[in-house]
Amino acid sequence: MLGQARAGDANARSELLEVVYPALRRIAHWHLRKERSGHTLQPTALVHEAYLKLFGRSEVQFVDRAHFFALVAQVMRRILVDHARAKAAARRSGDGERVPLGEALGVEGNFAEKPVRLLELDQVLDSLARENKQLAELIEMRYFGGMTAEESAKVLARSVHVVRHDLRLAHAWLRRELTRGR
């Protein structure tokens, strides 16, 4: 079904949506539960917008199920960031949406209680991507896609041990950049 959807078969894309919809909805709900109450973007809207953006492209490039979910994670990140930018522009305050840093980076401790703006996190992820694209992809897969280290390892064709090591490295890099000047 993934191969047919990738090739542009509209029926396969519809069937694919039916099959993966519950998982996409769980991922969207996971993201939005961390947002402030009364957030205007709902899980259903996030899923539908991500799906439309993903299949609105002329050619969708994904290899397998895990890679499909990695791409969905990237698309959901862009949607959430764009939504935060629009809200910030509307308020003209530039504050953006706040996300607890510990949740964003999957770390605990007193550092984890410091809030970070979603837009700031996006900028730092972009910086990380310029320095090391694979580390940034791992953070996207983990935070925006809810993927495990095992799933990420499969998508990247790397060992789980290396992925876990790289995740720790990426978290440390992000913590350093996000706490600079605070």
pLDDT at 98 over 60: no
pLDDT at 169 over 90: yes
Query: Residue type for 128, please?
Result: L
128 band by pLDDT with thresholds 50, 70 and 90: very high
Phi, psi torsion values for 116, nearest 5 degrees: -135, 145
Mean pLDDT on 127-142: 88
Q: What is the mean pLDDT of the chain?
A: 76
74 band by pLDDT with thresholds 50, 70 and 90: confident
| pTM tops 0.95 | no
- Which residues, other chains included, contact 78 with Cβ-Cβ below 8 Å and sequence gap of 6+? 53
pLDDT in tens, 15-65: 888 888 888 888 788 777 766 655 677 888 888 888 888 777 656 667 777
How is residue 143 annotated by DSSP? Answer: I
Question: How far is residue 144's CA from residue 24's CA, in Å, rounded to a whole number?
Answer: 11
Packed helices 65-91 and 149-156: angle between N→C axes, nearest 10 degrees: 110
Number of Cβ within a 10 Å radius of residue 151: 20
Give the helix/strand (H/E) hosting 98.
strand 98-100
pLDDT in tens, 100-125: 555 555 544 444 444 456 778 888 88
- Residue 100 β-bridge partners: 115
Contact between 81 and 74 (Cβ < 8 Å): no
- What pLDDT score was predicted for residue 15? 87
Give the helix/strand (H/E) hosting 121.
helix 118-131
Question: How far is residue 33's CA from residue 103's CA, in Å, rounded to a whole number?
Answer: 11
Question: How far is residue 9's CA from residue 29's CA, in Å, rounded to a whole number?
Answer: 28
